[in-house]
Amino acid sequence: MRKPEVAGFYDARTGSIQYVVACPSTRKCAIIDPVLDFDEKSGSTATTNADRILDYVNSHDLTLEWILDTHPHADHFSAARYLKSRTGAPTAIGEHVTEVQKIWQQIYNWPDLACDGSQWDRLFCHGEAFNIGELQARVMHSPGHTLASISYVIGDAAFIHDTLFMPDSGSARADFPGGSAASLWHSIQDILSLPDQTRLFTGHDYMPGGRQALWESSVADQKEKNPHVAGQSERDFIRLRETRDRTLPMPKLILHALQVNIRGGELPQAEENGRRYLKIPLDALPGSVWGS
């Protein structure tokens, strides 16, 4: 099994990990889940994270073949559109993003939103394969956190986004619109059916106990050490996950980020005064826990 080169880039503001996955022989690569910087207090945007990744690609003599998102993120803006504008590389996401678009089209009262996934260059279906240089990548539909979530299995590495976190951090929440703890359980079982030595790269780390940020584990690590799966039945997991989710406030950027991310990272068009505006619906997520 081929072993891709993997570099992780941690964004402390959102706890997100962005990845560059490279073919050692051809030096072709993909970027996974890039972050466009956004400060909700000032409304400022920046490309610091994305430019850091581009600097890495250039300094390591890599050729960018793909810009990949695993799902429409709720805690940060996607930098996919910005990176495409800089590099011309195609963007891609899972085909079920159209279902997420339809949910949020209603929440934002956005009848003009195209809900056909045309904001990306490629929509991947479950089981579909594509290449990064001489590496073969395979797509796994991994719903639960969102309807559209997919994992990328590339050689001996799998990029599992918001399914499992590091073993000391359990699993991802499943209470967003369209989310399902039962679906998340089955997606996790698919991931754990990969060979035990498969390297697993997660989408977030929140540094529990103040430890340093981590993002790589293995299937064997997760089976042995993650309390959300080790020794758990499906019923136990669903009860654990739903009980915990009822205590969690929504991510602070969910209403900001989804209107950007369901358009592939495209920011709103500038209005006649030259400024862009986000639209924040009130009382759109009933029953949500209030943040402190």
Global pTM? 0.97
Q: Which residues pair with 64 in a beta bridge?
A: 29
State how far the alpha carbon of 202 is from the alpha carbons of 17, 36, 164, 170, 234, in Å: 7, 18, 7, 11, 21
Give the model's pLDDT for residue 2: 83
State how far the alpha carbon of 257 is from the alpha carbons of 167, 174, 254, in Å: 27, 17, 5
Mean pLDDT of 132-138: 97
Orientation of helix 234-245 relative to helix 181-192, angle to 10°: 130
Give the model's pLDDT for residue 36: 98
Q: Which residues pair with 91 in a beta bridge?
A: 67
DSSP annotation of 248? P
pLDDT confidence of 291, banded at 50, 70, 90?
Answer: confident
Mean pLDDT of 190-212: 97
Rg, C-alpha atoms of the chain = 18
Mean pLDDT of 154-179: 97
Nearest to 124 by CA among 32, 54, 198: 32
Residue 254 reports pLDDT greater than 90: yes
Q: For 52-92, what is each residue's pLDDT tens digit?
A: 999 999 999 999 999 999 999 999 999 999 999 999 999 99
- Report the distance separating Cα 256 and Cα 258, nearest Å: 6
Question: What domains does the chain contain, in order, with CATH numbers?
Answer: 5-262 (3.60.15.10)
